[in-house]
Amino acid sequence: MAKSIENMALDHDDSFSSRMIKVCNFNPLYLKGFYDNFFQFSLDAMFLADKEGRIVWVNDIGKQLMSMGNDFSPLRDQESGLLAFIRKAVLDALESQQEFQNREESYTIDGKILTFLWDGRLIREKRQVAGMVLIAKDITKNKFVHEETIRYNMYKIIDQVASGLAHEIRNPLTAVRGFIQLIHESLKVPSKKEYLQVALDELDRANNFIKDFLLFVRPAAPNFSLVPLDNIIGEAIARLNPQALMKGLQFEFNAPGDSPLMYLDEAQIGRALGNIIQNAVDFTDHGKIQINVINNAKSDNIIITVKDPGCGIPRRNLSHIYEPFFTTKDEAPGLGLTLARTIISNHGGEISISNNQDKGVTVKIKLCYVSTYPDLNPKHES
């Protein structure tokens, strides 16, 4: 029996849809169910937008990603969290009518940095753009493994360089500084002494960089002692207050009345907090830097937050902020946050950094504590 013209056309049509029609025996209901299940239960997040750029459908993975419930409403949930970023990408693509593939983007969600590869495909109907489909693949784990491998190899090289720095550079710097200090003390001409003071300051600057570098490569174990946390934060603020005042900035420090005594390395934690507050000062032009301490007795930890109203961190830089030597400052070695995270981690704590919803950055530090501050003036019974 001769094949029908329709079947002959299907035999020569090698497209996915024509083959699916043949497999499903032309059953449109079965085919609809297949597509719905395929997209709904895809391992990648999927979003469907109309020609106005509104997200009209999200699959289950996409809803989990954005912590959305099953009652997603296209008219209500358009500007919340990650969906606002997605909608902007859709609008840009619709306006330019340009599709994209493997676009890497990083986002901070619930204090964690997640990285995705995005594909955006335009939907056309009668040669007119009718909407867009976006697919997001979570590559956070893969990116972490890749970066850890690179970081491991880099650290091996850095460790070799550190040995040379310690002996071939630091020792001569110490000798040179000693001789300049002797000359500086013996000179009577003030103008000449000023020149030597500049040389001493620059040598100290170079030596501090070497100290930071060696601490990063070979971190020293914390020398724990029982110290009041408020004092450490207060000293860090006092050191940076002159810089803040020159820029018209103010510090607002709020701490609970029962400031805890904590087992910490006072010098190391002071350095970590100083680096974090220094960043807040450097990237803020005006306003108030808020430093808060929350004593959470139920979970046995202290939360320190440093919030600034500065320029924020570009999304492309969020996944690099802890990398050694990564910096956007003109004159900085790029070790500040790297050292801060190392120190806090060695104290059994955690640090997270995220952009504020309005502007600026919030740094959150969690440290464990052992006891509350004792009563220094106990009442004696008569």
Domain boundaries, the chain: 41-138, 143-217, 225-368
Give the pLDDT confidence of 215-255 residue by residue, as tens digits.
777 777 888 888 888 889 999 999 999 999 999 899 999 88
Tokens of residue 235, six digits = 């000293």
| Those residues with Cβ within 8 angstroms of residue 213's Cβ, 6 or more apart along the chain or in another chain | 162, 165, 333, 335
Specify the pLDDT at position 11: 53
For residue 187, the model assigns a pLDDT of 79
Q: How do residues 164-182 score in pLDDT, each as one tens digit? A: 666 677 778 888 888 888 8
Q: What is the pTM of this model?
A: 0.54
Cα(231)–Cα(255) distance, integer angstroms: 11
Q: Mean of the per-residue pLDDT values for the chain?
A: 79
pLDDT at 46 over 80: yes
Mean pLDDT across the stretch 181-210? 82
Predicted pLDDT of residue 362? 94
Nearest-angstrom CA–CA distance, 21 and 35: 12
Q: Which CATH class is domain 225-368?
A: alpha beta
CATH for 41-138, among 3.40.50.300, 3.30.450.20, 3.40.50.261, 1.10.10.410? 3.30.450.20
Q: Please tell me if the domain spanning 41-138 has the same topology as the one spanning 225-368.
A: no
3-class DSSP string for the chain = CCCCHHHHHHHHCCCHHHHHHHHCCCCHHHHHHHHHHHHHCCCCEEEEEECCCCEEEECHHHHHHCCCCCCCCCCCCCCCCHHHHHHHHHHHHHHHCCCEEEEEEEEEECCEEEEEEEEEEEEEECCEEEEEEEEEEECHHHHHHHHHHHHHHHHHHHHHHHHHHHHHHHHHHHHHHHHHHHHHHHCCCHHHHHHHHHHHHHHHHHHHHHHHHHHHHCCCCCCCEEEEHHHHHHHHHHHHHHHHHHCCEEEEEECCCCCCEEEECHHHHHHHHHHHHHHHHHCCCCEEEEEEEEEEHHHCEEEEEEEECCCCCCHHHHHHCCCCCCCCCCCCCCCHHHHHHHHHHHCCCEEEEEECCCCCEEEEEEEECCECCCCCCCCCCC
Position 304 scores a pLDDT of: 93
- The pLDDT confidence band at residue 61, using thresholds 50, 70 and 90, is confident
pLDDT, tens only, 109-145: 666 777 888 888 888 888 888 888 888 888 888 888 8
